[in-house]
Amino acid sequence: MSHEDYFKEAGVEAQKAECLRDKCGAVVVLNGEIIGRGFSSPAGGLVLDKNGESNRKCELNLITSAKPKSDRTCCVHAEWRAIISALKQKNDTQNLNGSILYFTRVDGEGNILKSGEPYCTVCSRLALDNGISYLALWHESGIKLYNTREYNELSYQFHQKN
């Protein structure tokens, strides 16, 4: 699979998102295999009704909050869920050395939206802590794989500027 294919898979996850702020999705890829998937949704586990639909939605959209840009919602980030899913798939607490975390957002029709600059320090710290080697974003200028340490540093720089 190509980088574009992995982003499309992250887009499929994003379409499941229950967040009011953004429809985000992520996949973790190790040795060419998707080992973790996640989408943004409220904490507490997915609850489905008799029709297989979620019966809960994000109730908090803190656009005007003083909280950092990456934490203006009640939802668990797609990246967190993908990393947790990957760790469970490995069925142990080994780190995810060599893996790539692909993240994207989609619009209301499921089209992938291009990313801005790195800014989520909570996701970069979790990725670093679990051995993710790269975080991938699809910018207007193309796909970029960021070394996770670089992504983390750029995220902190983003908040110093803004």
CATH number at residue 86: 3.40.140.10
- Domain holding 57, by residue range, is 3-161
pTM, entire model: 0.85
DSSP for 82-135, written as a single string? HHHHHHHHHTS----TT-EEEEEEE-TT-PEEPP-S---HHHHHHHHHTT--EE
User: Per-residue pLDDT tens for 2-18?
Assistant: 999 999 999 999 999 88
Using an 8 Å Cβ cutoff, are 107 and 118 in contact?
no
Using an 8 Å Cβ cutoff, are 99 and 48 in contact?
no
pLDDT of residue 70: 52
pLDDT > 90? residue 143: yes
Residues found in the chain: 162
Average confidence (pLDDT) over 123-141? 96
Alpha-carbon distance of 96 to 110, in angstroms, equals 29
User: Per-residue pLDDT tens for 148-159?
Assistant: 999 999 998 987
User: Per-residue pLDDT tens for 34-46?
Assistant: 999 999 988 775 5
Higher pLDDT, 76 or 139: 139
pLDDT > 70? residue 54: no
Total number of domains in the chain = 1
At 67, is the pLDDT very low, low, confident or very high (cuts 50, 70, 90)?
very low
